Amino acid sequence: MADEDIERSLYLAPLAGLPATGAILPAFEVLVRLPGERVVSTIAGRSDLLAWADSEGSLVHKAVKRRLAGLESRCPPFAGLAMDGTQGRPHVMGIVNATPDSFSDGGRHLDPQAAVNAALAMVDAGATIIDVGGESTRPGADAVSPDEEIRRVVPVVQALAERGVLVSIDTRHAAVMQATVAAGAGIINDVTALEGDADSLAVAARLGVPVILMHMIGDPRTMQDAPRYRHAPLDVYDALADRVEACLAAGIPREALAVDVGIGFAKSVQHNTEILARLGMYHGLGCAQLLGVSRKSYIGRLSRGEPPLGRVPGSLATAVTAAGQGVQMIRVHDVAETVQALTIWHAIARSGPAGGDDPVWNDQSY
Ligand code: 7PJ
C-alpha cells in the first residue's frame, strides 16, 4: 500500500484535549476505511495507539505519526489572529448579509449604512471578524450576478475596512473577490472552496489574502438533493484535503488557509451531527478551522421545528461543542450571545485538567 492510500484509510479524531495548541492529546477515535464502503472505529489511548501502529509496520506507523503531528502541533496565526489556543475563547465572526433574500435576516441589511451599523455593533459585542455576503447561499437560492453582488457588498466592505475592521467576503465569484479585496477585505470566505468559478483559485493566489475553504457538493440550488457519502466525516476530510492540496499547488501557503466542514451544505441532519461530533479530526489538515452553524435548519429539525430566530440556543450549544474540539473561529448572527457562551466555556476549560490554570495539573512540586 502506498503512503497516499494509508493517508486515506486511517483517521484520528481526538477524544480529549485541545488539538492544534501544541498539547499532547490523550485519546482518540481511530477510524479505518475497509475495502468497499465500510468504516470501522475503535477508541485508543495515545500510547496504545502508538504501540498498535508499531506492530502494524512502518507504513502505518508513519501514517499515525503524521496524523498525530498534525493534531498536536501549534496552529500558526490566520489573518493575523492567534489560532493556537492563546486566543482564549474562539474568535467570533459576525454575519452581515447585504442580500434581500437571506433566510434568517433577509432584507435587514440591504441599506449599506444599516449593514455597517449592524457590523460595528457586532464588533462592540466582541466579534473579531465581520463576514459580508451579497448572495444568499441558502438551499434552493437563485444565483445573483457578480455585478449585482459587487454593488451590494463593496460599500459595506469599504466602510468597515476604513474603520479598521477585519472583513471576510463570503463569495464564490472571482470578480467579487477582486473588487472587495481592493476595497479592503482581509479574508476570502468561499463556500465552494475556490471551485465555484474557474478563475477563483488563481485570483485568490494573486490577491494574497487568507482563504476559508468550505466543503459543499454541487451548488446551493441542488446541494440538498439526497446528499450521499461513503462516510460523511471522512469523505469531507478527504475533500478538504484535496482543496488544501490544490491551493498549495497554486501557491497559497497552508497558513493562509482555513477549513470549514460546511454544516447544512449537501448534508442530512445525521451527516451534520456525525461531522460535528468529530470536528477535532479536521485539525489534522494543518489549517485553522471555522464553523458556521448559526440558526441552521438542522437545529429546528432535531428540536421542535423552530424558525431561524428560535434556533439561537441550539446554535450556542453547537458553538460550545465546537470550542471544546479546538475550532478557532465560529461564524454567527448572534454575536453577544455567542461571546458570552464561549467566554464561560473558556473559563471552565482553562480551569480543568488540560487547561493550563488547573492547580493539580500545574503542581510543579513533584
Ligand atoms: C457558511 C458560510 C458556513 C462558511 C454561509 C448560512 C448560509 N461560510 N456562508 N461557513 N454558511 N465559511 O449562513 O446559513 O457555514 S451562508
pLDDT at res. 101: 54
Query: What does the pLDDT read at residue 360?
Result: 57
99: left (phi over 0), alpha (psi -120 to 50) or beta: beta
- What φ, ψ does residue 131 adopt, rounded to 5°? -95, 115
- pLDDT, residue 34, reads 92
**Could you read off the pLDDT of 20-51 as tens digits, one per residue?**
999 999 999 999 999 888 999 999 999 999 99
CA angle 258, 33, 229 (to 5 degrees): 65
| pLDDT range class, residue 52, cuts 50, 70, 90 | very high
- The answer to whether 258 and 292 are in contact (CB under 8 A) is no
* Nearest CA among 81, 90, 104 for reference residue 333: 104
What is the structure's pLDDT at 143?
Answer: 75
Report which protein residue has its CA nearest ligand 1's atom 15: 292
pTM over 0.75: yes
Give yes or no for residue 331 CB within 6 A of ligand 1: yes
Asked whether the predicted pLDDT for residue 354 surpasses 90, the reply is: no
Q: Ligand 1: does its nearest atom lie under 6 Å from the Cβ of 10?
A: no
pLDDT for residue 15: 96
Distance CA 112, CA 133 (A): 12
For residue 191, report the distance from its CA to the centre of ligand 1, in Å.
Answer: 7
Rg (CA), the chain: 20
Residues above pLDDT 90, as percent of the chain: 81
- CA of 214, closest atom in ligand 1: 12
Q: Which of 297, 331, 333 to mutate for ligand 1's pocket (most ligand atoms within 8 Å of CB)? A: 331
6 neighbors 65 (Cβ within 8 angstroms): no
* pLDDT tens digits, one per residue of 276-306: 999 999 999 999 999 999 999 999 999 999 9
The closest of 34, 40, 42 to 15, measured between CA atoms, is: 42
pLDDT at residue 308 in the model:
97
Task: Count the helix, strand and coil residues of the chain and give each as a percent rounded to the nearest 5.
Answer: 40, 15, 45
**Mind listing the pLDDT tens digit for each residue in 101-152?**
544 555 555 688 999 999 999 999 999 999 999 998 766 677 789 999 999 9
Closest CA to 290 of 104, 120, 92: 92
Mean pLDDT of 300-323: 98
C-beta of 135 in contact with ligand 1 (< 6 A): no
Confidence of residue 366 (pLDDT cuts 50, 70, 90): very low
The residue assigned the cell 477510524 is: 31
Torsion angle defined by CA atoms of residues 50, 359, 342 and 339, in that order, rounded to the nearest 10 degrees:
-140
**What value does the mean pLDDT of the chain take?**
92
Kindly state the average pLDDT of the residues 192-204: 97
Residue 331 annotated among the catalytic residues of the structure: yes
Q: Ligand 1: does its nearest atom lie under 6 Å from the Cβ of 223?
A: no
Interval 322-349 mean pLDDT: 97
Candidate from 136, 149, 190, 191 with most ligand 1 atoms within 8 A of CB, to mutate: 191
- The residue whose C-alpha atom lies closest to atom 8 belonging to ligand 1 is 191
Give nearest CA residue, ligand 1 atom 6. Answer: 138
Query: Residue 267 catalytic?
Result: no
Q: Is the CB of 181 under 6 A from ligand 1?
A: no
- Other CB atoms within a 10 A radius of the CB of residue 301 amount to 14
Tell me, using a 6 A CB cutoff, whether residue 296 lines ligand 1: yes
pLDDT of residue 362: 53
Cα of 170 vs centre of ligand 1, distance in Å, is: 8
CA separation for the pair 264, 137 (Å, rounded): 11
How does pLDDT run across 222-264, given as a tens digit for each residue?
766 778 899 999 999 999 999 999 999 999 999 999 999 999 9
CA distance 214 to 194: 9
Greater model confidence, 223 or 154? 154
Mutate to test the pocket of ligand 1, among 214, 224, 333 (most ligand atoms within 8 A of CB): 214
Of the candidates 70, 91, 93, the one whose C-alpha atom is nearest the C-alpha of residue 20 is 70
Q: Does ligand 1 come within 6 angstroms of the Cβ of 29?
A: no
pLDDT for the residue numbered 139: 67
